[in-house]
């Protein structure tokens, strides 16, 4: 399965769901938000949201800003 993850094409990921993906990426404890194809996938839906070939996934967290 090929995903666009934070702007890069990735074919090395095993995750089937959004929740799997976050775990696979090692982002467990950190506050993150996820968008799939431009829509936010809320926390409660992440385990149930299956990823499909060609999905565009954005994993968002905090950085410095003013």
Closest CA to 19 of 49, 40, 39: 49
Residues forming the site for other proteins (CB under 8 A): 5-7, 25-27, 30-35, 40, 42-43, 58-66
Q: Could you tell me the CA-to-CA distances from 29 to 12, 23, 36, 58 in Å, in that order?
A: 23, 10, 20, 17
When the beta carbons of 14 and 62 are compared against other proteins, the nearer one is 62
Closest to other proteins by CB, 6 or 52: 6
User: What are the tokens at 3?
Assistant: 């995903």
Residue 43 C-beta: closest distance to other proteins, Å? 6
Return the number of the residue (16 or 58) whose C-beta is nearest other proteins.
58
């Amino acid at each position: 399965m090929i995903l666009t993850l934070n702007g890069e094409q990735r074919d090395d990921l095993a995750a089937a769901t959004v929740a799997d993906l976050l775990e696979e990426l090692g982002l467990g404890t950190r506050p993150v938000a996820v968008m799939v194809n431009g829509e936010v996938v809320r926390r409660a839906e992440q385990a149930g949201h299956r990823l499909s070939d060609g999905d565009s996934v954005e994993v968002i967290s905090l950085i410095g800003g003013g």
